[in-house]
Structure formats: C-alpha cells, structure tokens
Amino acid sequence: MKNAIEIRNLNKTYKASKRSAAKVALNDVSLDIPKGSIFALLGPNGAGKSTIINIMAGLVKKSSGSVIINGFDIDVNERNAKSSIGVVPQELNYDPYFTPLESLELQAGLYGVPKSERRSKEILEMVGLGDKTHAYVRSLSGGMKRRLLMAKAMVHNPQILVLDEPTAGVDIELRRQLWDNVKMLNSRGVTIVLTTHYLEEAEELCDRIAIINNGEIVACDDKDVLIGSIDSKEIIFRLDRDIEAVPATMSQFNCEVKSARDLSVRYSTSEQQVGAIIEAVQNAGYGIVDITTEQGDLEDVFLQITA
C-alpha cells in the first residue's frame, strides 16, 4: 500500500439550521495522499479544508463517499482507522490545569495506550518541550501550546499526523519552529497532512499539494510540477535612464514601472517571446543595462486556477 489516505467521491452537505441554509461543503472530492509525504491541502477560507480533516478524524459525518486511512475504511474499521491518525484541530483547546506531561498521559489514557508503552516524555522532547514537562500549561507561550497539541496528537504513535491550519495567526519565528518540527517528524517516517491558506507554507514545506476551492479539488500534483505548469513569467529590465510611465508603444504588453529605472513585463511563455519584448523596450528608446526574470510561484498557480 503506497497511500496513507485514499478519499473517493467524498460529498458533504451541512444541513440547514435555524440560522443558515443547507451548505454543500464538499463536492465529489477524491484524493490520494502518498505514504511518507508532506501533503498540503491548500485553499481559501471556507473552501472545505477543515471539513475534509474533520471527516477523516471522525468529528464530522460525511454525506457520501469513502475514506480509507492506512488501509482501513472509516465506515468498516473505525477503530483501526482512528488509531492510525493523529489530528491537531484548527480550533485549539487546552487543559489549563494540567502540566504538559499530565496532558499527554491523559490523552494516552483516552487512546487506551498501556502504561508500559507510553512515551510521553520522549514525545515532549521531540517537540522541544522537554524542559516544560512540569510547567503549567497556561504559562506556555502560544507556540509552545501549539507544539503541545502536536505532542498530544502523537501519543498513540500514529503513522499519519494531520494538522489543520497549524500556523494561522502564528508569527514568522514560531512558524519556522513548527515547520522544523513537521520536517523532523516526517523524517522519522510520519506522513504529514496539513491544511493552509498560506501559499508560502505549502511551497516551503510540502512535496505534494492539492488545491481546493468551493468544495472541489481544482489541482493536485507534486509541488514542482504545479509550479512548473505556470505559464506566466516576469521579466524586469534595468534601464539606462529613468522611466516615468509605460511607453505607449508597449501598451500591448503587461508592463509596470517598478522603480525609477526598473520596468517589469509579465508575459505568457506560450504566447509571447522574450525577443519581441526586448525589441519593444529598445524601440521605445531605452537602453537595457540588465535583465532579470522571475519564475511563476504558487501564487500564480493559485490565481490561474481559481480565476
């Protein structure tokens, strides 16, 4: 078995309530998440990311379709499916009156991990909380609390760790720390699934990415392939003198004056040739001192796909 998770034709409609109309949150979602990967579910708020995660975690009931976790169908073999996966939910909740060690022991108890097999201290070390074993949870910083939740999700030694928006509202430094933790766990063989609405996070961390929009998977591929598929490129000309406005003769190109002497041109690699663009700059009466180009990034992929 090479997939940690296989999702087929998954649908979810949240029923109407007094406050809201019925809502189709997932529309025929199918996904394979390879074993050993760091996989991102990337999409804007409301796209359906948490719904997928919560169905996998057994917190939300699907309307139809199938979910196989580590070879176990959640409808047929819920127990084994659940023991294969650790989930850090988007909504964070803490036990303020327990120390990190007590929190982990409690969680291990809930999962029925026998005392002899518990590794609470080792897990705390692993997420960098080794010196906080006996601290009050309420005295921990935001980043430490996040890592404690990761630790809690690991008590039953799951092969798959799922993180729902792990770095939403977390500052850059903490984000780096969490990323390091994720990479370290992955290097120990844990399959990582995370949701994010930060393109940068998916780009930095993941080897495979699915983009979800309005409850539908609109792209799913290796990160490099996704980024490579982007057709738009930016070329920046450093000119020999100041430029005030885009020359009228270049109006057919997507130009922008970036700074006093820098003119940027966005173009489609399949439709336009660099030679023609260079010629247009020279014909407008400018000398070219230097040229730099920028490849498209995930943001371009995202805009192209969801446009």
Q: How far is the CB of 194 from Mg ion (least distance, A)?
A: 11
- What is the spatial distance between Cα 83 and Cα 70, in angstroms, rounded to a whole number? 10
Edge-to-edge order in the sheet of strand 254-259: 254-259, 262-268, 232-239, 288-294
Give the distance between the most distant pair of CA atoms in the chain: 79
The mark string for 122-141 relative to ligand ADP (x by CB under 6 A, - otherwise) is --------------------
Phi, psi of 137 (to 5 degrees): -60, -35
**Binding ligand ADP by CB under 6 A: which of 14, 98, 179, 198?**
14
Report H helices in the chain: 49-56, 78-83, 100-110, 120-126, 142-153, 172-187, 199-205, 223-228, 274-283, 298-306
**Tokens standing for residue 198:** 């930060």
Distance CA 301, CA 40 (A): 14
Which of 10, 42, 51, 147 is in the footprint of ligand ADP by CB under 6 A? 51
Choose, by CB under 6 A, the member of 48, 100, 166, 296 that binds ligand ADP.
48
Among 1, 18, 21, 45, binds ligand ADP (CB under 6 A): 45
Residue 136 sits at φ, ψ, to 5 deg, of -75, 130
3-state secondary structure of 300: helix
62 binds ligand ADP (CB under 6 A): no
Say if strands 23-34 and 3-14 run parallel, antiparallel, or are unpaired. antiparallel
89 binds ligand ADP (CB under 6 A): no
Residues 212-271 that bind ligand ADP (CB under 6 A): none
Point out which span in 41-49, 100-108, 122-130, 250-258 binds ligand ADP (CB under 6 A).
41-49
* Secondary structure E strands in the chain: 3-14, 23-34, 38-42, 64-69, 72-73, 85-88, 160-164, 191-196, 208-213, 216-222, 232-239, 254-259, 262-268, 288-294
Cβ at position 158, least distance to ligand ADP in Å: 21
Is 196 a binder of Mg ion (CB under 5 A)?
Answer: no
The interface partner of residue 25, options being ligand ADP, Mg ion, none and the CB cut-off 5 to 8 Å by kind, is: ligand ADP
In the range 143-182, which residues lie near ligand ADP by CB under 6 A? Answer: none
Shortest reach from residue 195's CB to Mg ion, in Å: 6
The pair of structure tokens assigned to 170 is: 């977390």
Q: Which residues pair with 255 in a beta bridge?
A: 265
Among 47, 67, 129, 154, binds ligand ADP (CB under 6 A): 47
User: Does 50 help bind Mg ion (rule: CB under 5 A)?
Assistant: yes
Smallest separation (angstroms) from Mg ion to the CB of 51: 8
Q: Is the Cβ of residue 14 or residue 111 nearer to ligand ADP in the bound state? A: 14
Which is nearer to ligand ADP, 161 or 277 (by Cβ)? 161
| Candidate residues 7, 25, 239, 280; the one interacting with ligand ADP per rule CB under 6 A | 25
Which of Mg ion, ligand ADP, none does residue 187 bind (CB under 5 to 8 Å by kind)?
Answer: none
Contacts of 235 (CB under 8 A, 6+ apart): 264, 265, 267, 274, 277, 291, 292, 293, 294
CA angle, corner 281, sides to 276 and 282, nearest 5?
95
Whole-number minimum distance, CB 218 to ligand ADP, in Å?
A: 13
- Which residue number, 211 or 265, has a Cβ lying nearer to Mg ion? 211
Using CB under 5 A as the criterion, which residues of the chain lie in contact with Mg ion when the complex forms?
49-50, 90
> Which positions lie near ligand ADP, rule CB under 6 A?
14, 20, 23, 25, 43, 45-51
